[in-house]
Amino acid sequence: MSSINSRGQILHGVGGGQVSIDNVPFSQGAAGGWANDDIAFFADGENEWVISLYDQLTKQRQRAILDSNDPYYGYGANALYADGSIWAAWLNGTGLYSFKGFNRPRAGLLGVGADGTIGYKPLYHSNGPSIAHEPDESEWKITDGHASDLMLVGNRRAIWCESGIIHVFGIPQPSQIGRAWFPHAFLIDGRWWVSYFCEEAGVVLHPISSFYGYTISPAGVNCWHNGRVLANGVLRFALSSGEGEQPGEVRAFDVDFSMPRVNLAPPVAHNDAPPPHNDIPHNDVPPHNDVPPHNDVPPPVEEDDEMLKAYGKVMDGFLPGTEHDNGNGTVSVQKPNGKWLCVTPYGSLEERDTPGGAWESFKKGKGCLIAERDGEDRGPLVYVLPAAETLE
């Protein structure tokens, strides 16, 4: 994935292609990240793929490990990251090794944060846990699972995905439009924003609890992205039209927060909606004298469970749950997998680890659950769901 330094320069290039800065190549190889604003960390494809450093001021390159007595001297990498003056690499058969001497032969590498924190799994061949190793050598658990697409934000905060669901540590839980990939979190003027890719809306950027935001790249367009708040406060995205991030494929996109925000959530089609008028054959339209008088209007159609589901796509594998009294006039719903039902302010059906929160609480109605939510831009919103024992 591309990497952006604090000045806004983009380092990019994946696999066996070229490594470039702002579409100007300097070597064959694979980009790892910015060790600092001037030094790029990469695997040098012109020197046996040895992990190396490139100084863009002097145009010189050197091995990242210069001591020939170092056990990792001359090694390459299958995965490599750098930020906050720290680089880390992972090589099949060798494991994780890094600039600071933090080496774990059995571990897997997940990323390096802007403050130099290294994300890793103690056991590469496992589903977790995922751990953060701080520059001061302290550690904290990110998650019991595998933190995919991990972004270490700094100050013991992180955002990642598990099975398409965004998870966070030290950051408010964000809403999401659909299954997400490559999530990022940004603190802009004291407010958290999140970006990610989803099939329904493309690459999007919106506040944590609102779907009113900006389209970074529309749905249906190939786009690999990364983002960073620069030293001057500008939020810049690096967007690539190709997965290899080769010269000519990458462009910078700066967010203009003075532009009006739009609702990024796609409209939800109602399965029971009648066909459009132009699909009705003309010969099926009854003559006027066959239309019943107004006092013969048929009774209203009874709503079924499908019509009572909340706004938003039901999660794959969403199963009936068990109601638990929160002791404050509300209930929470626990699913068979131990997670708790969550309805966000904009109607996304999700799961959470703990009950009783503002988005995990429901009032009981007659044969239904009522979710009252603060929709921010859209005002108070109410969603009605079938009772927990009938939700499918």
- Of 111, 107, 130, 104, whose CA–CA distance to 33 is shortest? 111
Lowest mean pLDDT among 68-72, 132-136, 250-254, 268-272: 268-272
Rounded Cα–Cα distance for residues 146 and 140 (Å):
14
Comparing CA positions, the residue from 362, 321, 363 lying closest to residue 339 is: 321
H/E segment holding residue 151: strand 148-152
- Pair of tokens at residue 127: 């589903």
63 burial via Cβ count (<10 Å: 0-12, 13-18, 19+): middle
Looking from the CA of 198 toward its CB, the CA atoms found within 13 Å total 27
Predicted confidence band of residue 387 (pLDDT cuts 50, 70, 90)? low
What is the rounded CA–CA span in Å between residue 11 and residue 87?
Answer: 14
Instruction: Give 382's strand partners.
Output: 372
Identify the CA nearest to 188 among candidates 223, 240, 153, 148: 153
Q: What is the three-class DSSP state of 219? A: coil
pLDDT at 287: 42
Instruction: Answer whether 0.75 is exceeded by the pTM.
Output: no
Q: How far apart are CA 111 and CA 321, in angstroms?
A: 36
What residue spans define the domains of the chain?
3-257, 304-390
- Report the pLDDT averaged over residues 260-267: 89
Fold designation for 3-257: Methylamine Dehydrogenase; Chain H (2.130.10)
- Is the model more confident about 376 or about 57? 57
pLDDT digits 0-9 by tens, 32-66: 999 999 999 999 999 999 999 999 999 999 999 99
Query: Can you give the pLDDT at residue 307?
Result: 32
pLDDT at 280 over 90: no
Separation between Cα atoms, residue 375 and residue 40, nearest integer Å: 43
Q: CA distances (Å), 298 to each of 87, 206, 286, in order?
A: 71, 44, 16
Question: Quick check: 310 pLDDT over 90?
Answer: no
**Is the pLDDT confidence value at 114 over 90?**
yes
* Residue linked to tokens 């390096």: 112
Measured over the CA atoms of residue 177, residue 180, residue 185 and residue 188, the dihedral's sign is negative
CB 91 within 8 A of CB 108: no
